[in-house]
Structure 1
Amino acid sequence: MKEDLAVPRAEFRSYYGQPILKTPVWNWMIAAYLFCGGLSAGSAMLGAGADLTGRPGLRKVSRIGSLVSVLASLFFLIADLGRPERFHHMLRVAKPSSPMSMGTWILSAYGPGAGLAAVAELMPKWLRRTWIGRLVGRLARPAGLWAASTAPGVASYTAVLLSQTAVPAWREAHPYLPFVFTGSAAASGGGLGMLLAPLGETGPARRMAVTGAALEVAASRTLEQRIGLTAEAYTTGRPHRLRQWAEILTVGGAVGAVVGGRSRAVTAASGLALLAGSALQRFGVFEAGVASTRDPKYVVVPQRERLQAGRPARGDDRDSGRVTARHRR
């Protein structure tokens, strides 16, 4: 039986078509920070494995790559703070309910291990013969293992950080973003090893790259299929183009890792493709979040769907509801 309505169903619109949420003030440096942190974590894990299996060439490029990329990550993060000289204030407290606070402490725990392991690789021969060099050499393996043990946190905490904001595309994707970021970190770490390590030692890097690429692509596709309306932010416009190229490069790099193990040129090109794909994935996720704040439907429609399904409102739902009410008044 068709329902008779006294008035037509209302179409959604916001106050004068204005966005309900403020667009994030972050710029491209945050996306670069996300990529560099993941690359560092992936490289640290690969470097520890290379150390334990007797692959000095792969160990060296992975340890050095881990240090360089974490320093780049810190540079991009601090430069975007607005008042970079106040970065140390983030270490004044440890707040378990704050992903930013926990992430700062994870990075603080990770950095010294990654740094010491890389310094052991960079020391000149004359310094290695001194007592300082011998001490650093003895500490390099424990430091590398420590960095590898904290690396999964470095690879994934940024996904939690984004998911805890009110940005719809990041918030709705919270079950899947950690898998996307962790897979991307493994793919990029493997890609760096494939690009720079001696060909005969790239076996672990190729296997890690293929595993990471598979996880990244599978989680990314799952994200698009399961977050409802908000998936449009990922599958349209500039974010879609960035993530589409990310998937092409990542899959291509993984295929090259499988079939090109005997070719230096194919292995290096595949590693470069994996690095580029990982970077574009982070930029695509970042752009999707920014795009989702510009259209009010990504805020209101999921709220209404949750209410109609009888699920309790989230904290950010109540907050944005209050904003909407203030706008209407």
Structure 2
Amino acid sequence: MSEAEVTREGSLGQRPGREASPGSEGGRRRRRGGRRGERAMVPDAEFRSYYGRPIIKAPTWAATDIAGYLFLGGLAGASSVLAFGAEVTGRPALARAAKAGALGAISLSTAALIHDLGRPERFVNMLRVAKPTSPMSMGSWILVAYGPAAGLAAVTDATGLFRRIGRAATGWTALTGPAVVSYTSVLIADTAVPAWHEAYRELPFVFAGSGAAAAAGLGLVAAPVRETAPARGAAVFGAVLDVAATRLLERRLGPIAEPYRTGRGGRLMRAAQALTVAGAAGAAVFAGRSRAAAALCGGALLAGSACTRFGIFEAGRASAEDPRYTVMVQRGRREPSG
């Protein structure tokens, strides 16, 4: 029983401090969004997943297949653009090396994709329809449009046969090459993986810069020094674009970019930046003077581009495995409309 007795005059014998007055500390507090000066009774919600488990399924792709596919596709497409530039400026050795590199890279890239799919007929089945809203569908058709022409350009250059057809094929691969370089960035950004999806604006530029640096590296390694001027220019251009786009990505994404700076993804991205900058700087200063310097800088550029693709792959996988990043994305979309 209560010690207080209720009478006409009010409660008697009530314990001090038990009175409920509006706005007092002991009174009922309004929820957030109430009148100014009133405190929330319920604390702010803390978003978390069920038992800390991942909210989305992390990619199950093998890094050697998919990250390799991303790297080799960028190398192939950018090499075709470099081959066209070398051919029209009278640098046959550089053009031949770039054409051969493009054919080899696109062949290995397609093989890596088919290996990840499990059966070759799955790739063929993707060609049964052309769906403009599907990056995978469009990517399959881009490979079909590019691959045979890359083979034709390389074979006619190596054999000296059907030169006119070879020149036409070289021009076609230069037109379709940029799509081969960048469509894979659209492909991964079209997933629910936070570190990829939220970076959809910058990833095409990162891939374009990384691909250009890789093609330049191949040209520096394979061509004589006297013909490497276009490759040296491509190295500087690719490195600047790659580094600038990556920095912009990290700044715009804020906390969601953490997987690009920490863990395995972070280590690979730091290695990529160091190798790319060193390779481009060496290409601009030393590669035009020494065959050994050109090969060393070219190797650094190739390695830097590969680290970029593998680093992006690992950052995406890490962001999918940690529910915090998925929650951050959903929270960011909810708050402006609240």
Calculate the TM-score normalised by the size of structure 1: 0.89
Alpha-carbon contact 2:48-2:327 (below 8 Å) kept: no
1:229-308 correspondence runs (5 A): 229-260=255-286, 261-308=288-335
Equivalent residue letter for 2:104: V
> Is 1:159–2:185 an aligned residue pair?
yes
Alignment partner, residue 322 of structure 1: none
Q: Which moved more, 1:77-86 or 1:276-285?
A: 77-86
What stretches of structure 1 move > 3 A for 4+ residues in a row? none
Kindly indicate whether residue 150 of structure 2 is the aligned counterpart of residue 114 of structure 1.
yes
Tell me by how many angstroms 1:300 deviates: 1.5
Q: Does 1:8 align with 2:43?
A: yes
Change (3 A) 1:9 1:76: same
Q: Which one of the candidate residues 53, 59, 74 is aligned to 1:24?
A: 59
Question: What residue in structure 2 maps to residue 85 of structure 1?
Answer: 121
Shift of 1:12: 2.6
The Cα of 1:214 is off from its aligned counterpart by 0.6
Q: 1:222, 1:253 → 2: CA distance? A: 21
Amino acid corresponding to residue 44 of structure 2 in structure 1: R
1:1-329 matches, within 5 Å, as 4-28=39-63, 29-123=65-159, 128=160, 133=161, 136-260=162-286, 261-310=288-337
The whole-number CA distance in structure 1 between the counterparts of 2:37 and 2:184 is: 49
Q: Pairwise CA RMSD of aligned residues?
A: 1.3
CA deviation profile, 1:14-61 (whole Å, cap 9, x unmatched): 101111001111111100000000000111001011111110110110
Report how many residues are paired. Answer: 301
- Structure 2 residues not aligned, in runs of 5+: 1-35
- For 2:321, the aligned partner's letter is R
- The answer as to whether partners of 1:229 and 1:302 remain within 8 angstroms in 2 is no
- CA deviation map 1:220-239 (0-9, x unaligned): 11100001221111111110
Deviations 1:178-219 (A, max 9, x none): 000011111100110011101100000000111011100100
Structure number with larger C-alpha Rg: 2
Flag the structure with more relative contact order, 1 or 2, with Cα contacts below 8 A and sequence separation at least 6: 1
**Amino acid of the residue matched to residue 50 of structure 2?**
Y
Residue segments in structure 1 that go unaligned for 5+ positions in a row: 312-329
Q: Work out whether residues 39 and 188 of structure 1, in 8 Å CA contact, stay in contact via their aligned partners in 2.
A: yes
CA–CA distance in 2 between the matches of 1:268 and 1:43? Answer: 16
**Counterpart Cα distance in 1 of 2:105 and 2:309:** 15
**2:214, 2:48 → 1: CA distance?**
42
CA contact (8 A) 2:256 2:328 kept: no
What secondary structure does 1:205 align onto? helix
SS at match of 1:293: helix
